[in-house]
C-alpha cells in the first residue's frame, strides 16, 4: 500500500498547473472563484484553449483524438483545473454522448460528431428526463415513429441543463409502445435547429436560467441519427450513466469552495467561534476522507476491478459536502447573505452566497437522486 502519487503523476500535475496558470483568462477565473455563473462564450473559450493544447477530450482514448490519460491522470487534471478556477468540463458532450458514440456509434457518426465536441464547435444537451419520467427514467413517453428514412418525434423533455446553448440533444424516445418499459426505448440524436424543437426556460429558485423544457412537435429526425439498434436504447442509456460518474465526487471543486469558505469565515471573524469552527472542521474532515475514498476507487478502476457501489458513495458524499460548504458560506456572512441580485450591498464576497446555496440544492437531486443512489448501494449489498 502506497498512498503517494508516482513521480510521473506529480510531474503531470505540475504540467497541468502551469498550463492552467498561464492560459486561463482572468475574467473566467474570477467568475468561477466567486461563484458567478459562466456564459456560453466562457465555456467555449476554455474548451478551445484545452483543445489547442491537445486536451480537448480529457478522458478520451488516443484513437479518438484524446490524450489517453489514466483515470488518475484525468483526476489530477480535473483537480488542478478546479483549484485554479477553470470552468468544469461541460459533460453532456465530452463525458456523456462521446463515450456512447465511441462504444456504439457507426464510424460515420463518430467522424461527424466527435471532432466537433472536442473542438468546442458543437454543444450537446441531455434529453432524458420528462415530466413523467424522473427517477423512473424508463417510463419516458416521447414517441418516435419510423417513416421511411426518418423518425417523427413528439413529446416533451425537461430539466435540460444549458439546453439554451445546445446545438444537439441526445434523446431517449419510445419506439415500441407495446413492449415492456425498458425494451421499447431507442436512443436518438436530434439537431436542435430542426423545425418543431422549442426550448422554454425554467427559472430556478436562485433566479437563474440553467435548465429548460424542450418541446418536440413532429420533429423529423434522419434514421441515420439512431444510435445502435432500435429498441435497444436502454442499454446505451445505462452505459452513459456509468460514464457520467467520472469526477462525480467533485473533490477539486469542493477543495476550492472550502478554501473560499475559510477566506470568508476568516474575514467575518467566524472561525473564532468554536461552534462555527467545528462545523467547518467537520466538512473539511469529510472531504479529506472522501478524497482518499475517491483515490481508492480510481485505483480499483485502474486494476479493472468490477465496480461496486463506490460511484454511488462518491455521489452522495460529494454532493453532501458541496451543499454543506455552500450552506456554511451563507451562514458565515449572516444577514448580508439574504440580499438577492444586488452587487453593491454588503461585502463583495456575500453577493452570491444566498443564491449559491439555493442553486446547490440541485446536487442531491440530479444525476440519480441521493435516495436512488442509496437504493443502488443497498441492492448491491443486500441483493434483495
Partner 1 sequence: MNFDYSEDQRALQDTVQRFVARDYRFEQRRAIRDAEPGWSREVWQGLADLGVLALNIDEDYGGLGYGPQETGLVMGAFGAALLLEPYLAAAVIAPALIRRTASANFQERWLPDIATGASIVVLAHADARQAPVTEIGGNLSGRKAVVAHGGCADLLLVSARTADGGTGLFAVTSGAEGVHLRDYPTLDGQRAADIILDNAPATRLDAGGAAEAIDAALDIGLAALCAEAVGIMDATIAATTDYLKTRQQFGQPIGRFQALQHRMADMLLHLEQARSMSYLAAMHCTDRNQAARQRTLSAAKVTIGQACRFIAQNAVQLHGGMGMTDELILSHWFKRLTAIEMSFGDTDFHLQRFARLSRAA
What is the Cα–Cα distance from 176 to 185, expressed in whole angstroms?
7
Strands 168-174 and 124-127: parallel
- Min CB(291)–partner 1 separation in Å: 8
- Min CB(349)–partner 1 separation in Å: 19
Residue 135 interacts with partner 1 (CB under 8 A): yes or no = no
What is the Cα–Cα distance from 145 to 173, expressed in whole angstroms?
10
Residue 286 interacts with partner 1 (CB under 8 A): yes or no = yes
130, 230, 244, 268: the active-site residue: 244
Query: For the chain, first and last CA: distance in Å?
Result: 34
DSSP-assigned states of every residue in 18-32: HHHHHHS-HHHHHHH
Applying CB under 8 A, the span of 41-49, 105-113, 202-210, 376-384 interacting with partner 1 comes to: 376-384
- Min CB(382)–partner 1 separation in Å: 5
What is the Cα–Cα distance from 146 to 17, expressed in whole angstroms?
50
Find cell 489514466 and name the residue. Answer: 70
Quick one: which of 266, 376, 374 has its CA closest to 328? 266
Grid cell listed for 212: 429548460
Applying CB under 8 A, the span of 93-101, 115-123, 270-278, 335-343 interacting with partner 1 comes to: 270-278
- Min CB(84)–partner 1 separation in Å: 21
Show contacts with partner 1 in window 309-348 (CB under 8 A).
309-310, 312-313, 316-317
Applying CB under 8 A, the span of 32-40, 87-95, 284-292, 342-350 interacting with partner 1 comes to: 284-292
Sign of CA dihedral 331, 334, 340, 342: negative
Q: Rg of the chain over CA atoms, in angstroms?
A: 21
- Annotated catalytic residue 327: no
The single residue among 11, 281, 338, 345 that binds partner 1, judged by CB under 8 A, is 281
Contact residues toward partner 1 (CB under 8 A) are: 1-6, 9, 72, 271, 274, 277-278, 280-282, 284-286, 288-290, 292-293, 295-296, 298-300, 303, 309-310, 312-313, 316-317, 371, 373-375, 377-379, 381-384
| Residues assigned a catalytic role | 244
Amino acid at each position: 500500500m502506497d498512498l503517494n502519487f508516482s513521480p510521473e503523476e506529480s510531474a503531470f500535475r505540475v504540467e497541468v498547473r502551469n498550463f492552467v496558470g498561464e492560459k486561463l483568462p482572468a475574467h473566467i477565473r474570477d467568475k468561477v472563484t466567486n461563484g458567478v455563473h459562466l456564459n456560453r462564450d466562457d465555456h467555449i473559450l476554455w474548451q478551445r484553449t484545452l483543445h489547442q493544447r491537445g486536451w480537448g477530450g480529457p478522458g478520451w482514448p488516443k484513437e479518438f483524438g484524446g490524450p489517453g490519460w489514466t483515470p488518475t491522470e484525468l483526476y489530477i487534471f480535473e483537480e488542478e483545473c478546479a483549484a485554479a478556477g477553470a470552468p468544469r468540463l461541460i459533460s453532456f458532450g465530452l463525458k456523456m454522448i462521446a463515450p456512447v458514440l465511441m462504444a456504439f456509434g457507426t464510424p460515420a457518426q463518430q467522424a461527424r460528431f466527435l471532432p466537433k465536441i472536442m473542438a468546442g464547435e458543437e454543444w450537446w444537451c441531455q434529453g432524458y428526463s420528462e415530466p413523467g419520467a424522473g427517477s423512473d427514467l424508463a417510463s419516458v413517453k416521447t414517441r418516435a415513429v419510423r417513416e421511411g428514412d426518418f423518425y417523427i418525434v413528439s413529446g416533451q423533455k425537461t430539466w435540460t441543463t444549458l439546453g439554451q446553448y445546445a446545438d444537439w440533444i441526445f434523446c431517449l424516445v419510445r419506439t415500441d409502445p407495446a413492449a415492456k418499459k425498458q425494451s421499447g426505448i431507442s436512443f436518438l440524436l436530434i439537431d436542435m435547429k430542426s423545425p418543431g424543437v422549442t426550448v422554454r426556460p425554467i427559472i430556478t429558485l436562485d433566479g437563474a436560467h440553467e435548465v429548460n423544457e424542450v418541446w418536440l412537435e413532429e420533429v423529423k429526425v434522419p434514421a441515420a441519427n439512431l444510435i445502435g439498434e432500435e429498441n435497444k436504447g436502454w442499454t446505451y442509456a445505462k452505459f452513459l450513466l456509468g460514464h457520467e460518474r467520472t469526477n462525480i465526487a467533485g473533490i477539486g471543486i469542493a477543495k476550492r469552495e472550502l478554501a473560499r469558505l475559510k477566506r470568508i469565515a476568516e474575514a467575518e471573524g467566524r472561525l473564532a467561534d468554536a461552534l462555527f469552527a467545528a462545523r467547518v472542521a467537520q466538512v473539511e474532515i469529510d472531504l479529506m476522507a472522501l478524497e482518499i475514498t475517491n483515490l481508492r476507487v480510481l485505483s480499483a478502476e485502474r486494476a479493472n476491478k468490477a465496480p461496486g457501489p463506490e460511484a454511488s458513495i462518491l455521489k452522495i458524499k460529494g454532493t453532501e459536502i458541496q451543499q454543506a460548504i455552500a450552506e456554511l458560506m451563507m451562514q458565515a456572512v449572516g444577514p448580508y447573505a439574504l440580499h438577492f441580485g444586488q452587487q453593491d450591498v454588503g461585502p463583495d464576497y456575500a453577493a452570491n452566497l444566498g443564491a449559491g446555496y439555493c442553486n446547490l440544492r440541485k446536487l442531491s437531486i440530479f444525476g440519480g437522486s441521493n435516495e436512488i443512489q442509496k437504493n443502488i448501494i443497498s441492492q448491491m449489498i443486500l441483493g434483495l
